[in-house]
Structure 1
């Protein structure tokens, strides 16, 4: 049965949606009609679905989130490199960033075995140790099997692994030139900055970060869905160091 909407409801829903398009998020207090009128909420959600996006409510905020690469709000690789990565960055830097994020979130969700976070915060050294552990596990997979996995997932794990391991060379050069020996930490700090700007994590001081409500909702609704992660979570966490 089709639903008939009043003219005023359509106008109000369109206004809310266009504000979300322009700003990305809105305080719930400023869009009370969305939370109080079911038909306006449905209209705004319909507008979002037409753009391959979704409206999520997290804490006191309303967010417009792309859920497919076909969405006009999807941030492509070139834009990420332009806005968030240093000059000369390649797509490989983005893939390494994504893997680092997978591992970070896995630390909060007990290797993705839970629907709710199992910890309140993490410090940067713990995140670094977790990334190192996962890549050490990856190194133990024989080349033939890794190639098969890459074909199945369309994800170049070999190059990503080489990229992370090569940071050791960068670290030594940096040590000789500037005394900076924290290249991997520097990379994770860059990823952290990206996540902060996307309102995904919050710096709580003492070199520690926590997840935002926005991130928690996205993980619960989408991130653990096989359709979205293409089995990457299973792959990243099926091996423990020394048990390949």
Structure 2
């Protein structure tokens, strides 16, 4: 296919905005959707660097296809700007698990491709995450190591990180203080997701998903190629409980 110079330049301008910011505005989205040639070029540019372009509402988004990296920032940037001092890969994985659990609350543990609720409270997110990590924590260490090899997630490190948050306020000897400590952790994750345009605060310590988040869940989190069986692992215990009920 032959493209004229104006189409090439416009496509590159859109691609440049996307690659720099991870998002492009309404006008660029309209051009992308209306012109097949420009859209094809932008998609080719994105594909060449291992990324994909999609629309959500009246905006364009640009995401890497790499597994476990659906954000327009590197792991090092996340560690530096959003996680505790001296954070390591265990902290990154805990963040990812917290996000997986959050999204799962909106999609009936990933049993449906449509949202089954409009919002969730921070307390509900905390309860769900704590419950799932407690089940994993109760497993035999050797069994966990086998799962680590299978899913490439350091589950032992994740559990240690989560339990360490519990220890921060241990001297107070009150469950309320420990809960506040973990909520503070989740608030950091919440702020990260807000900046990434994946959730919105709606008041009363409640949050909702954005259109961008819904598309990411449908395009990536549901796909075995990308989640490496993590969803099956995290939610298999829930399914076993339902089967025993």
TM-score for the superposition, normalised by structure 1 = 0.90
- What secondary structure does 1:209 align onto? strand
1:129-166: CA deviations, max 9, x gaps? 00111012112322332221111112111121122123
Aligned length: 237
Partner of 1:117: 115
C-alpha distance in 1 between matches for 2:213 and 2:16: 23
Among 161, 164, 172, the alignment partner of 1:163 is 161
Per-residue deviation, 1:180? 5.2
Aligned to 1:102: 100
Structure-2 change in CA distance of 1:117 and 1:242 (3 Å)? closer
Aligned partners of 1:124 and 1:185 also within 8 Å: yes
5 Å-filtered alignment, 1:30-45, equals 30-45=28-43
Shift of 1:117: 0.8
Counterparts of 2:211 and 2:36 in 1: how far apart (Å)?
23
Q: What 5-or-longer segments of structure 1 have no aligned partner?
A: none
Q: What residue number does 1:76 align with? A: 74
Matched, 1:217 2:218: no
Pair 1:75–1:55, CA change in 2 (3 A) = same
CA contact (8 A) 1:204 1:210 kept: yes
Rounded Cα–Cα distance in structure 2 between residues aligned with 1:126 and 1:193: 17
Give 1:54's aligned residue: 52
Contact 1:5 1:39 in 2 (8 A): yes
Superimposed CA distance per residue, residues 90-126 of structure 1 (whole angstroms, 9 cap, x where no aligned partner)? 2211111111111111101100101011100000000
- Distance of 1:68 and 1:242 partners within structure 2: 31
CA distance in 1 between counterparts of 2:14 and 2:32 reads 8
Unmatched 5+ stretches in structure 2: none
> What is the CA–CA distance in structure 2 between the aligned matches of 1:88 and 1:27, rounded to whole Å?
36
* TM-score, length basis structure 2: 0.89
Cα separation, 2, equivalents of 1:82 and 1:76 = 10
Tell me which residue corresponds to 2:7.
9
Contact 1:68-1:74 at 8 Å conserved across structures? no
Aligned to 1:231: 229
Aligned-residue RMSD, C-alpha: 2.2
Give the Cα–Cα distance (whole angstroms) in 2 for the partners of residues 12 and 30 of structure 1: 9
Q: Judging changes above 3 Å, is the alpha-carbon distance between structure 1 residues 151 and 30 closer, same or farther for their aligned structure 2 residues?
A: closer
Counterpart CA distance in 1 for 2:141 and 2:80 is 34
Would you say the 8 A contact 1:137–1:242 is kept in 2?
no
